[in-house]
Amino acid sequence: MTFESLVAEFLDREYELSPVRASQLGLTEFDGRLDDLSADAFRARDRDAASWLDRFDAMDGAELTPDEQIDRDLVRSVLRGRLIMADWEDWRRDPATYTNTSLDGVFTLFLHRLRPEAELVEAAVSRMREIPRVLSEGAANLDPAMAHPLILRRGAAAARGGARYLRELLATDVAAGPGRDRLSSAGSDSAIAMDAWAAHLERMAGEATGTWQLGEDRYTRLLREKEQLDVDARGLRERGRAEYDRLAAEMAEVARRARGTDDWASLLEEAARDHPLTEDAMRDGYAHWTARARAFLAETGLVTLPPDERCLVEPSPVFRRPTLGVASYSAPPAFSDSWTGHFFVPFAPDGTPDAEIQQRLEANSWGDIPTTSVHEAYPGHHWHLVMRKRNPSPVRRVFGTPYFNEGWALYAERVMRERGFFTDPVQELFHLRATLFRAARIVVDTSIHLGEMTYEEAVDFMRTKAGLPEPTAKAEVGRYCAWPTQASAYLTGCLEILRIRRDWLDAHGFVGVAPAHVPVAAIREFHDTLTGSGSLPLGLAERVMTGAPRV
């Protein structure tokens, strides 16, 4: 069997097992189905992962092109990650497995609108008819002896937001008429199932005794075998602590330059009071700075801007607000003609008191908005993921890692500062605090999953060391508990990209030259080549940039 045919067989199986994921990739023939999330299906996926890994391991690297070697090793890293997590059985712990499949399966259809409206309605109605089945599978699978009350209550809040989306908001995505009526009817029925699911999760939370602690061995194995990093969990925590201290010192230096004081924390606290007064004003501020960041790239030539791409700035989806307190991004489907991405700004969940909304807006101050716009849009997630979409390899358009995606977006903030985008020292301070925040994330994420920091201690750490308002700190730590290793991806990936960049510049004749002084054409070549390679584990990304073969 050729490598190309093995990849095609593997991806076909992936799409068949995960039709919602296939639909998100732009494969519209899967639009009418939700995933099979029964216990038997999860166990079959684990068996599949072991079998597929054997088959890809058996491919003779000497017979593959350099690009095929990268593709093979990307698939192997994905499969190893699945096998490392197999005995953790997250599908017995986290209700998001079922809620997200149900809601994303419908929401994505209307987000990207890859088909005529009548066909989207038909697909959405078909999927909503399957929501009770998916949630029933979740009720059968979740185990109160394995699930933690925090994760279950977090899931219940998301389910309540999802019920409102299905019942009240979904039908407004289409024009008035029979299609809207069908969506409204199906949405009302599926919302009943979602409400019942939320109530079930609340009841289970009252008796749950499980844990979110991934453990040191799994955490380290994911870093080394999946992410291909030369560090273990404790070593990563020390890296986070060291970067926190380094960044705090750099921030003191910038604060002295800006206001004649080392007290950067007080300076930022004062600056945070200058924030949008409403969520709509916040969204407008993000739209303004997203446009400015794109214009800066066009003027400087720091990257190549693909034709037809655009990034819309919108409120976060209602059903995601209870579990995500920060900005996020959704890329254009990999196998579609769309080049439009969606930058979601963090609106508060329904029913949030006005005082808490103002606290949340303070975390999105006018000084902070520029660096977040860079991170999410230009040249952060949006620009990177439209560049990745241009890669001819289907494997690289399907699979990626947050250690590259988030590492790149944080690096994007760094390079925009190097090139003069942030003109106010206060903006520089907010950028540096965003990086320091990622260092704090490493410390907290590793510590809670090693079992050496409680939830309450983690919230206090993020509040006092990262300067987050308490509601945002709670949302953040809840996310770390439910999504182990992801929070460490940002700064870890950024530091690896900086190291790869230094090696690449040295190899191209810029030994000892500060990156800010390297001709922009060379920096653009580095950026375009790295991001165009996909969202690879950093060890594979380094091989792409150095051209080093590995068979």
Task: With respect to residue 214, please indicate whether it lies within any of the assigned structural domains.
Answer: no
| Confidence band for 503, pLDDT divided at 50, 70 and 90 | very high
Q: Single out the residue of 274, 225, 308, 260 nearest to residue 485, CA to CA.
A: 225
Same domain, 415 and 479: yes
Give a yes or no: residue 33 inside a domain. Answer: yes
The verdict on 409 and 457 lying in the same domain is yes
State what percent of residues in the chain have pLDDT above 90: 92
Does the N-terminal peptide bond of residue 353 adopt cis geometry, omega within 30 degrees of 0? no
The pLDDT assigned to 550 comes to 47
What's the pLDDT tens digit per position in 39-74? 999 999 999 999 999 999 999 888 999 999 999 999
Residue 167, C-beta contacts closer than 8 angstroms, at least 6 positions apart: 187, 188, 191
Instruction: Tokens for 337, please give them.
Output: 């003609």
Convert the pLDDT of each residue in 174-189 to its tens digit: 999 999 999 999 999 9
Residue 145 maps to a domain: yes
Per-residue exposure over 273-282, b if at least 16 CB sit within 10 Å of its own CB, e if not:
eebbeebeeb
Q: Are residues 60 and 171 in the same domain?
A: yes
- Better-predicted residue by pLDDT, 547 or 210: 210
**In the chain, helix, strand, coil percent, each to 5?**
70, 5, 30
- The answer to whether 225 touches 77, Cβ cutoff 8 Å, is yes
Residue 531, both tokens: 């991001």
Distance CA 344, CA 339 (A): 16
Strands of the 340-345 sheet, one edge to the other: 310-315, 340-345, 328-330
The answer to whether residue 228 sits within a structural domain is no
| pLDDT one-digit tens code per residue, 280-319 | 999 999 999 999 999 999 999 999 999 999 999 999 988 8
Q: Is residue 121 part of a domain?
A: yes
Give alpha helix (H) positions in 26-115: 39-57, 66-86, 96-112
Is residue 468 pLDDT above 90, yes or no?
no
Residue 245 falls inside a structural domain: yes
Tokens standing for residue 328: 């996020």
Q: How many other C-beta atoms are found inside a 10 Å radius of the C-beta of residue 44?
A: 13
- Say yes or no to pLDDT of 131 above 70: yes
What is the DSSP secondary structure assignment for residue 169, as one 8-state letter?
I
Alpha-carbon gap, residue 197 to 155, rounded angstroms: 9
Q: Is 551 a member of any domain?
A: no
Q: Is 170 exposed, middle or buried (0-12, 13-18, 19+ CB in 10 A)?
A: buried
Mean pLDDT score, 252-259: 91
Asked whether residue 184 falls in the same domain as residue 256, the answer is no
- In this structure, are 244 and 288 located in the same domain? yes
pLDDT at residue 551, as a whole number: 42
Rg (CA), the chain: 23
User: Helix, strand, or coil here: 456?
Assistant: helix
The average pLDDT across 385-397 equals: 97
Question: Three-state SS across 484-537?
Answer: CCCCCHHHHHHHHHHHHHHHHHHHCCCCCCCHHHCCHHHHHHHHHHHHHCCECC
| Nearest C-alpha neighbor of 220 from the set 488, 498, 543, 495 | 488
Q: Which residues pair with 329 in a beta bridge?
A: 343
| Helices and strands, counts by H and E, the chain | 23, 3
Element (H, E) at 174: none
87, 102, 209, 458, 472 from 151: Cα distances, Å? 18, 18, 11, 15, 16
- Do 191 and 249 share a domain, yes or no? no
Q: What is the pLDDT of residue 548?
A: 55
The span from the CA of 316 to the CA of 158, in Å, is 13
Q: Show Cβ contacts of residue 517 under 8 Å, excluding neighbours closer than 6 positions.
A: none
Grouping H, G, I as helix, E, B as strand and the rest as coil, residue 227 is: coil
pLDDT of residue 549: 47
Mean pLDDT of the chain: 95
**Residues 287, 389 share a domain:** yes
418 lies in a domain? yes
* Listed residues 205, 222, 245: the one ending a domain: 205
Helices 66-86 and 3-17: crossing angle in degrees, nearest 10, is: 40
Give the torsion sign (CA, 147, 149, 150, 152): positive
Residues 523, 434 share a domain:
yes
End-to-end CA distance of the chain: 18
pLDDT of 320 higher than 90: no
Let me know whether 387 and 440 are in one domain. Answer: yes
Q: So what's the pLDDT on residue 21?
A: 97
| Alpha-carbon dihedral angle through residues 422, 480, 325, 142, given to the nearest 10 degrees | 160
Share of the chain above pLDDT 70, in %: 99
Q: What would the pLDDT profile of 393-435 be if each residue is shown by its tens digit?
A: 999 999 999 999 999 999 999 999 999 999 999 999 999 999 9
pLDDT of 113-124, one tens digit each? 999 999 999 999
User: Could you tell me if 127 and 460 are in contact, meaning their C-beta atoms sit under 8 angstroms apart?
Assistant: no
* Alpha-carbon gap, residue 158 to 322, rounded angstroms: 6
- Reduced to 3 states (helix: H, G, I; strand: E, B; else coil), residue 345 is strand
CB 314 within 8 A of CB 343: yes
Whole-number pLDDT of residue 324: 74
Q: Is the Cβ–Cβ distance between 170 and 191 less than 8 Å? A: no
The model carries a pTM of: 0.94
- Looking at the fold, whether 168 and 238 belong to one and the same domain comes out as no
Query: Three-class SS of residue 314?
Result: strand
161/103 same-domain check: yes
- For residues 82-109, give the mean pLDDT: 97
Alpha-carbon distances of 31 from 1, 49, 178, 277, rounded to whole Å: 30, 24, 20, 40
Question: Tens of pLDDT along 217-226?
Answer: 999 999 999 9
- The whole-number average pLDDT for the span 187-196 is 98
Give SS3 for 173: helix
Residue where a domain stops, chosen among 205, 223, 253: 205
Same domain? For 173 and 275 the reply is no
* Contact assessment for residue 134 and residue 35, using Cβ atoms and an 8 Å cutoff: yes
pLDDT band at 273 (very low <50, low <70, confident <90, very high): very high
Q: Determine the residue type at 139.
A: A
Range of the domain at 85: 3-205
Total domains in the chain come to 2
